[in-house]
Structure 1
């Protein structure tokens, strides 16, 4: 396998969002001439609104509306000056009221995203370090990443894992001036809480620990003066704490607020806070509406509003308690998440609820792992108890129907979220009267002709190749060198194969597909802890093979049923071996399975192009070279043909012990130099086993002036279907530029395949530019990945 393309994240998010958009779930437009908050117009229908973040309904309060209208009449639609020069006349009153609410110094920001971008680079010095909760809001993560340019170390912990946090604090205490832990007060997807009292105790234990809390979803509906969940838990904003609240969402207006009691830091941020200095200030209407809301927050009325909302939330919780719906986190926040598992089930469930007259949101990747898709709904003061009850009744009715229509079940959903199913539903075994599934642990138990005629037509995974791999990757001392092989064969009633593939379970480095910059940092830690950031992965194929690892009879009438059995088998294997990730590979760009895999909770990532050379039956080296472009022929003559007489080219079936030692050394050179594909090394017995195997041979390049000086080697496999596979390469980098060793190895590989009269040369991935110069054609390759959580993805993002 080869280095991944690193524009994948945005491409993947775009694909997932596009899929949701096509299903009528996202990027919708609200309709109607007015908006009450209780209902929302979607597709010519009025739906009860269970997707708002205005939990108290203040955005519809007549006092806020009147204040905004008056401000526009007096001051216009905007006050087009930087706040650093002069604030519009309404700002002073707003700042005074918000300061009174928090009883601490505050700074008003345009919004929380710009606020984080202005505050974090200012508050965090070059002598500090940052630790992020992996579910902290994107806006915090994005602002923190800016500090990588100043070499501020940024790390991440699993969600609310305080043991992990304390371990990282211990490692940084003697090295850094301050250690900033950044988290949400209440997390926006599941509505779960940050353990702020425990964090406060941890900050007392470790004085260098500072807290940066984004509490925009905890604002207004709880806390004294509506100052939010975080302040209610912490008791005060201490000097080691920065707290963000919002003037939008539940507050009902626009903008955000930073609370900072550290006088020196407060003045530094206010004096020069990046976007806080240069961005436009809040519009007069927003300032006026926020001031009106602040007056409500400072009055006893806020507690009546909180109580009213609390009763509705409690009512909703009580109704849910009497159902067996998969509520992901049970708490008293107004945010709820009902798990659906696979995206296609989420699409179905949301559409069903909208047809019933209820608007809810879909929680989807990257906010949650793809297979942890679900319905995110919120309770507000706009929602009447009758419609809350109707929503629960609709969910109870439609949830099992969504499962049935999308060929899934409760156990899969509850398993995806690691929840116990209160219904204790016993999952029916896979049954299909016309299809049978066989699972084997060794290729020795599988018919050779059937395997080679279906899956084994390429790469190093014909029957003989897999027998070789089983021997090499079993019984080794190091755990990373031992793989579990699983073969899946689904046949129809006539015993004709419908779907055939194989999987391996092995230990992978989590940064295998990350950028080199991330792998370098991680490898430094692995010097002391070799298995740092490694995970068990269930992968179609293995790290030794490339190509189409799955045979599927696309014309078979029961293809869909076979795919369902295949997916269920993957889930069983994933649970059995406690794999943290499932990888399906390698598929072409326009593969018809794309929508199916995506609906099953897999995200598609683009791999490097694979390169293929197809040879004519009567091909000669001269004819082949003549087909190259004139420019490539010039390069060929200068960089390959002219140097060939200076080199010894040998095709060796069985190597001497000295040759094997050198082959392994050259291979290690390439492996260690390629952190872009950061994998564990292969076991030592691999090269000796190759030397003893009839299907393997070595193309060795040495210098004529010093024949004992091997400078390059191509390790080639001869597939039974006349496919020549240069699987791995080894090189002496000191000779690379002088002798164009890699290009020479590619050419000698082509010569050897022509000599053997093979039909195809499978050059695999990476170095496509070099391969194209010698006549290879490129094909797009994609993998489909499903992870148990987004922690590794988020971590790699901050380390790169």
Structure 2
């Protein structure tokens, strides 16, 4: 069977970033002939700057500027030689000063990204293992991909989950020398920190544990000599830690620094550290500016600067505490994250603040989960108290207005960030609309449902009743689904929106590469629910087609869509689902932009295939309209083998036949890891056999009629749509007798004999179905996850593969 196309992560990121750029939030150009750090020019306006990472304002210090200018005058704009041959004359002085700051051997690097690429492959031995905090900076994660070529295991744990980290340490402790945990000191989005003291306690329990800490956002504003948050916590760097700091951002210059207390390892990294050997060295201006900054860090002045910034941070914290603005993590770092929830809320709020004269950053996917979009505000010494006060006043005024503009409320935002809800909640749902939410299709009028949503797949009234019966009271949790049905009508009773939803357990690797699923299935032999998630889905894993009806011309459609979003959020809360999925949308569906704004990321599904039979022709006439090439394929690989098959159409199966059908389905399920789902319970097949809307196309060889080698499980939707929902195969005969292709043909033949208008061939094997006349359509799903952990972990596994 044809290989499934897999979602391209970069395409997903591109969609999100492009949307933010169109909203005027990203990819802006600063304006002006000069900068002070206090303000920044954007789109013809001068805004107070609350987005800098130069927290101490040293990038505007006249001593650093003078040093940089002097260095250019003396040495030129660059020193175009590798440091392996010869270092710039100013380098020795800088290295001595930085070494004095830390009291440990150091290495100066061009930037932190190149530094990680040089240090990590040199520090990590082939006998080691690496565990990443899933919020550790991208540059660290990227450098670790080089380790995969050496078969070094690289794993990931949820952010600051030390119990999960300890489990990984135990797993690797018997087979690995050192176990590296890589994390940030201060995390760049929420401003929260690594639990340094708890990690040190863990390393005493497990001596194999070593640390690689990226503390670039903790640099200068904390610690003795401004050496950062991590060293401020530890006071002395332990031998089992490599520490990265920066000479840019708060330090005010350019470059990065690796601190390595292990002298032998320091020598190895410095002698040959990949890009540390071959990349160009820092420009003379950068070296001179960094040296001037180091002088400040080595003097008592650094503590005055730190105190000035700390006073502003405390002031801002105090002002925020008197408001209802949802600060995601209250701490003493200069990074503040105001939760907005959905991207559209963030776009609105940022634009409002810019119009008021304040520049702030938007935290957006993939840096944070899409539904955890927020405004990232940084406080620096450039910010004056009156401007900080004005910013808080503007936020307090505009934050509720931005929520109102986008049809949400504060408690919806607070929930996605796991913050305590307010005592009162405003209900913005329009009372002019009639909302019907049911837990069973039996409570909905059959004719109405079938008219506006039940014409495709197994999603008519009878099909959904079949699903409810099949997926309840089963032994395993994955075989039990909850159902919800939503219909939104206007005050005249006319349906505007209708859909059904299921809540059940999904495998996180459902659309991952087969090699990844194969590795995960090996783990699931002893841990059956490894990397699985409770999912709230529009539609279900059993059904395909347009699961959502929307009257796009109705004047109240936007309010109906808002009700859908609120219903999904409520159900997610009530059922503790960690992911919401809306699926089976075309590539140009107008709802795409709406869903992006509500925190959904588009991913590509396998293509959908359908056959139009409205001309009521027989099978011979149908085949005659295929292309010359496809008719040749039909004669050679299908028609030539048809005499060898016995074809039985069964409305019901006796016990032995049902056992054979289940076995054939199981073969396909086990071999189709490209669409990796839990197998269906046996009750599904028994219920099919007892249901008048289902039938089985059974293939056997004429010389062995008692042993079926293929089956198509077909649903008859209201006498109009024929749905070959699932297939079963004996793989011993697939190549020799083209069994799958024969089943496709027999399905078309059966549908024409019954006089159906359409065949919903569903997803996968689009190449084979197209050869028999099916129309192939790209399909997309929209996914909203509570966090990015599973996605990032699967991304690591994919790059490893």
Q: TM-score, normalised by structure 1?
A: 0.98
CA distance in 2 between partners of 1:665 and 1:146 (Å): 43
8 Å contact from structure 1 (residues 517, 799) kept in 2: no
The match for 1:296 is 296
2:751 corresponds to: 753
Q: Summarize the alignment of residues 196-275 of structure 1 with structure 2, pairs less than 5 Å apart.
A: 196-275=196-275
- Per-residue Cα deviation, 1:362-409 (whole angstroms, up to 9, x for no partner): 011111111111100100011111101100110001001101111111
5 Å-filtered alignment, 1:459-608, equals 459-608=457-606
In structure 1, the residue corresponding to 2:218 is in which secondary structure?
A: coil
- SS at 1:311 equivalent: helix
Equivalent residues in 2 for 1:378-389, closer than 5 Å: 378-389=378-389
Matches within 5 A, 1:618-767: 618-720=616-718, 722-767=720-765
What is the distance in 2 between the residues matched to 1:90 and 1:734?
A: 73
- SS of match in other structure, 1:560: helix
Equivalent-residue separation in structure 1 for 2:120 and 2:514 (angstroms): 26
Deviation at 1:513, TM superposition (A): 2.2
Match of 1:49 in 2: 49
Distance 2:64 2:627 in 1: 72
Provide Cα deviations, 1:298-338, integer angstroms capped at 9, x if missing partner: 11111111111111111111111111110011111000011
Moved more, 769-778 or 218-227: 769-778
CA–CA separation in structure 1 for the residues paired with 2:533 and 2:346:
28
2:40–2:48 CA contact under 8 A, matched in 1: yes
What is the CA-CA distance between 1:424 and the residue it aligns to? 2.5
Q: Distance in 1 between matches of 2:777 and 2:211?
A: 49
Distance 1:382 1:660 in 2: 75
Q: For residues 33-67 of structure 1, what are the alpha-carbon distances to aligned partners after superposition, in whole Å with 9 as ceiling and x for unaligned?
A: 11111100000111000000000111111111111
Measured in 2, the distance between the counterparts of 1:3 and 1:222 equals 53
Matches within 5 A, 1:322-471: 322-421=322-421, 423-428=422-427, 430-433=429-432, 435-471=433-469
CA distance in 2, matches of 1:4, 1:249: 44
Give the Cα separation in 2 of the matches to 1:278 and 1:650: 70
CA distance in 2, matches of 1:146, 1:262: 22
Is the 2:6–2:605 Cα contact (8 Å) retained in structure 1?
no
CA contact (8 A) 2:457 2:544 kept: yes
Match of 1:103 in 2: 103
Q: Provide Cα deviations, 1:122-177, integer angstroms capped at 9, x if missing partner.
A: 21122211111111111111111222222222221111111111122112211211
Q: Give, in whole Å, the separation in 2 of the partners of 1:697 and 1:168.
A: 49
CA shift for structure 1 position 197: 1.1
* Paired residues of 1:4 and 1:514 also in contact (CA < 8 A): no
Give the SS at the match of 1:150. coil
**Alignment partners' CA distance in 2, 1:341 and 1:82:** 47
Partner deviation per Cα, 1:538-580 (whole Å, 9 max, x = no partner) = 1011110011001111121211111111111111111010100
Q: Secondary structure, in 3 states, of the residue corresponding to 2:502? A: strand
C-alpha separation in 2, matches of 1:67 and 1:581: 53
Deviation at 1:431, TM superposition (A): 3.9
Q: Structure 2: how far apart are the matches of 1:399 and 1:141?
A: 35
Secondary structure of residue in 2 paired with 1:217: helix
| 2: CA distance, partners of 1:118 / 1:629 | 57
Question: Which piece of structure 1 moves more, 673-682 or 243-252?
Answer: 673-682
Residue 733 of structure 1 aligns to a residue whose secondary structure is coil
Question: C-alpha distance in 2, partners of 1:624/1:698?
Answer: 22
Q: Take 1:675 and 1:142, find their aligned partners in 2: how far apart are those partners? A: 27
Could you tell which deviates more after superposition, 532-541 or 703-712? Answer: 703-712
Query: How far is 1:217 from its partner?
Result: 0.1
Q: Which moved more, 1:672-681 or 1:202-211?
A: 672-681
Deviation at residue 279 of structure 1 after TM alignment? 1.4
Query: Is the Cα–Cα contact under 8 Å of residues 246 and 257 in structure 2 kept in the other structure?
Result: yes
Secondary structure of the residue aligned to 2:745 is helix
Cα distance, 1:527 vs. partner? 1.4
Deviates more, 1:612-621 or 1:473-482: 612-621
Structure 1 pair 211–542 and aligned structure 2 pair: CA distance change class (3 A) = same
8 A contact 1:666–1:712 mirrored in 2: yes
Does the residue aligned with 1:346 lie in a helix, a strand or coil?
Answer: helix
**Aligned partner of residue 52 in structure 2, secondary structure:** coil
Shift of 1:482: 0.6
Other structure's SS at 2:646 match: strand
Q: Distance in 2 between matches of 1:585 and 1:715?
A: 23
Deviations 1:275-311 (A, max 9, x none): 1111111111111111111111111111111111111
CA contact (8 A) 2:586 2:777 kept: yes
Q: Check 1:379–1:4 CA distance in 2 against 1; reply closer, same or farther (3 A cut).
A: farther
Structure 1 residue 241, shift from structure 2 partner: 0.7
Give me the whole-angstrom Cα distance separating, in 2, the residues matched to 1:235 and 1:521: 43
1:427-468 Cα shifts (integer Å, max 9, x gaps): 3263422x1101111111111100100110000111111111
- Equivalent-residue separation in structure 2 for 1:103 and 1:160 (angstroms): 29
Q: Is the 8 A contact 1:640 1:743 kept in 2?
A: yes
Structure 1 residues 250-259 or 715-724, which shifts more?
Answer: 715-724
CA distance, structure 2, for counterparts of residue 22 and residue 452 of structure 1: 40
Q: Deviations over 1:623-653 (max 9, x none)?
A: 2222222122222111111111122222221
Tell me the distance in 2 between the aligned counterparts of 1:385 and 1:120: 42
The 8 Å contact of residues 190 and 376 in structure 1, kept in 2 or not, is answered as: yes
Inter-CA distance 648–533: structure 2 relative to 1 (3 Å threshold): same
CA distance in 1, matches of 2:77, 2:216: 26
Aligned equivalents of 2:148, 2:284: Cα separation in 1? 36
- Matches for 1:7-26 after TM superposition, within 5 Å: 7-26=7-26
Q: Displacement, 1:4? A: 7.1
Stretch moving more, 538-547 or 705-714: 705-714
CA distance in 1, matches of 2:126, 2:719: 59
CA contact (8 A) 2:53 2:250 kept: yes
Q: Distance in 2 between matches of 1:721 and 1:574?
A: 36
Q: Which runs of 5+ in 1 are unaligned?
A: none
Judging changes above 3 Å, is the alpha-carbon distance between structure 1 residues 390 and 80 closer, same or farther for their aligned structure 2 residues? same
Do the aligned residues in 1 keep the contact of 2:361 with 2:377 (CA within 8 Å)? yes
- State the 1:682 CA deviation: 0.6
Q: Distance in 1 between matches of 2:365 and 2:660?
A: 47
CA distance in 2, matches of 1:86, 1:443: 77
In 2, Cα distance between equivalents of 1:787 and 1:124: 33
Contact 2:6 2:606 in 1 (8 A): no
- Unpaired runs of 5+ residues, structure 2, are none
Q: Given the superposition, is the C-alpha separation of residues 28 and 175 from structure 1 closer, same or farther in structure 2, using an over 3 Å criterion?
A: same
For 2:546 and 2:185, locate their aligned partners in 1 and report how far apart those are by CA, in whole Å. Answer: 46
Which residue number corresponds to residue 137 of structure 2? Answer: 137
Tell me the alpha carbon deviations over residues 646-693 of structure 1, each in whole angstroms, 9 at most, x when there is no partner.
222222211222221111111111111122222111111211211111
